[in-house]
Amino acid sequence: MRIDPDRAVLVVDDEEEIRQAATRVLGADGYTVHLSESAEEALQVLETKPIRLVITDHGLPGMTGLELLKVLRERHPHVGRMMMTGNADVATIVRSINEGQVMRFVRKPWDNAQLRVMVHFALQEVMLAEANRRLIDALGRQLQFLRSLEERFPGLCGSGADEELARILAEAELMRPEDA
């Protein structure tokens, strides 16, 4: 079986039963599921594996899930982040969204169909953000090329073409997520 790095998920939970349940549900849908029982172990996995989405419990030993998400946001900004917990209060949910930029929040015990849908859409969001980054980068390269042509052949691009492309690129950069 070929492993698809675009479908690689890391589940971080200190409870073996939760890790195994997530593996059964997500593995059945063709995801490559990596497991960690602590935030420290999760960070090690992220250094060695091409992970697209991290689903972490909040109540981890040592570093909390929220602290892990904040580290991920800094060190691995293009990895999707989801939080799961069985006893989150509203303040934890809000902090997870604001500080960890969580894409989705899963309450334990979860509904398997709902978890599948949430993971699917979270990964779609990660892939779309990556495609947007590539398109913005390509647009920037095209703008540089146009400017170099205009320097070599003044008037070639027509009046205002360079400025219009620069305006479009500036707007695209404004729409880029802050962690892009």
Give the model's pLDDT for residue 92. Answer: 75
Give the model's pLDDT for residue 33. Answer: 96
Q: Rounded to whole angstroms, how far apart are CA atoms 43 and 111?
A: 27
Task: List, in order of start, the domains of the chain with CATH numbers.
Answer: 5-128 (3.40.50.2300), 130-175 (no CATH)
Q: Rounded to whole angstroms, how far apart are CA atoms 6 and 53?
A: 9
Token pair belonging to 63:
């570093």
Order the strands of the 80-85 sheet from edge to edge.
Answer: 32-36, 8-12, 53-57, 80-85, 104-107
Token pair belonging to 73:
């946001």
Radius of gyration of the chain (CA): 20
Give the model's pLDDT for residue 180. Answer: 47
Length of the chain in residues, anyone? 180
* DSSP code string of 113-170: HHHHHHHHHHHHHHHHHHHHHHHHHHHHHHHHHHHHHHHHSTTTT-TTHHHHHHHHHH
Taking only the tens of pLDDT, the chain with its 180 residues reads 455 767 999 999 999 999 999 999 999 999 999 999 999 999 999 999 999 999 999 889 899 998 999 999 999 999 999 999 887 677 777 777 777 678 888 888 899 999 999 999 999 999 998 998 898 888 888 888 877 877 887 776 665 666 776 777 677 776 665 544
- Long-range contact pairs involving 122-128 (C-beta distance under 8 Å, separation at least 24): 122/53, 122/80, 122/82, 123/6, 123/7, 123/9, 123/52, 123/53, 123/80, 125/80, 126/52, 126/53, 126/78, 126/79, 126/80, 127/6, 127/52
- Cβ atoms within 10 Å of 43's Cβ, excluding its own: 18
Closest CA to 32 of 55, 59, 2, 57: 2
Taking the whole predicted model, whether its pTM rises above 0.75 is answered as yes
Q: Rounded to whole angstroms, how far apart are CA atoms 123 and 53?
A: 7
